Amino acid sequence: MASVTKFTQGAVFNQLRHNLRQIAHSGNPDIDPARLRQDYVLSPDRGMSDYDYFQERLSQLYVYGRNDVKVMAGWVVTAPQDLEQEQYDDFFLAVYDFLENRYGEENVVQAVVHDDEGGQPHLHFCFVPVVEDKKHEEGYKVCANDVLDRRELRNFHPDLQRYLDEHGLEDAHVMTGVTRAQGGNRTVAELKSEREQEYEQETERPELDFGKPKVEQELHF
């Protein structure tokens, strides 16, 4: 349903351009140029490019001086297979609100819905992972590992599902890949138990190389 990727500063510029389809010869063969007009932006217009805003926000925070520091994170949230098409816009708006509230409006770098590919439409939500840090005069620092820790990854889907349910989107089943056509959803307790087992297995595996730049780290669940 959702995956999160962490980016070093060297990868941010191209990732933001890719999300906005500003790269002339994208390596993604699934993009249909005839459907580009179906993509749309949910993040606020701040009167500057997304990358400029990213740099501005970063300048307000303490950042460790290493090239491998993950200074941006990006969730990709896909519309459930069994969600009615007329509910897509409401779904993505609710997901955006959930993520903005969770990570802070000031930390949102970019949010783009893609509906120009062969599969389900999906939201790219990029943000600066920020935590409080009283050791430095800025008061806050960038730390993706603290923001996207085990608790956060374990609770993400249940919390999102609860938010959707509370906002009238009970048919948007984000906690399982099992659609109604495949027999319906499992209970919340079952899903939480399965998620915990999956995460334990993921943390025990060595980091895999899927052919992406080494500056990125991606977690799927």
With respect to residue 218, please indicate whether it lies within any of the assigned structural domains: no
Measured CA to CA, the distance from residue 211 to residue 25 in angstroms comes to: 17
Mean predicted confidence (pLDDT) in 75-101: 95
With respect to residue 199, please indicate whether it lies within any of the assigned structural domains: no
With respect to residue 87, please indicate whether it lies within any of the assigned structural domains: yes
Looking at the 3D structure of the chain, how many domains does it have? 1
Kindly list the distances between the CA atom of residue 214 and the CA atoms of 15, 22, 73, in Å, as whole numbers in the listed order.
14, 22, 15
- Whole-number pLDDT of residue 32: 56
With respect to residue 19, please indicate whether it lies within any of the assigned structural domains: yes
Please tell me the number of Cα atoms within 13 Å of 14 on its side-chain side.
Answer: 12
- Count of residues for the chain? 221
pLDDT in tens, 41-87: 999 999 999 999 999 999 999 999 888 999 999 999 999 988 999 99
**CATH number of residue 32's parent domain:** 3.30.930.30
Measured CA to CA, the distance from residue 71 to residue 128 in angstroms comes to: 6
Domain range enclosing 69: 2-145
With respect to residue 212, please indicate whether it lies within any of the assigned structural domains: no
With respect to residue 91, please indicate whether it lies within any of the assigned structural domains: yes
With respect to residue 185, please indicate whether it lies within any of the assigned structural domains: no
β 130-132/108-114 pair status: unpaired
- Whole-number pLDDT of residue 28: 64
With respect to residue 163, please indicate whether it lies within any of the assigned structural domains: no
Reported as a pLDDT band with limits 50, 70 and 90, residue 22 is: confident
Contact 67, 8 (CB under 8 A): yes
Q: What is the 3-state secondary structure (H, E, C) of the chain?
A: CEEEEEEEHHHHHHHHHHHCCCCCCCCCCCCCHHHHHHCEECCCCCCCCHHHHHHHHHHCCECCCCCCCEEEEEEEEECCCCCCHHHHHHHHHHHHHHHHHHHCHHHEEEEEEECCCCCCCEEEEEECCEEECCCCCCCEEECHHHHCCHHHHHHHHHHHHHHHHHCCCCCCCCCCCCCHHHCCCCCHHHHHHHHHHHHHHHHHCCCCCCCCCCCEEEEEC
- Whole-model pTM: value is 0.77
pLDDT in tens, 4-18: 999 999 999 999 998
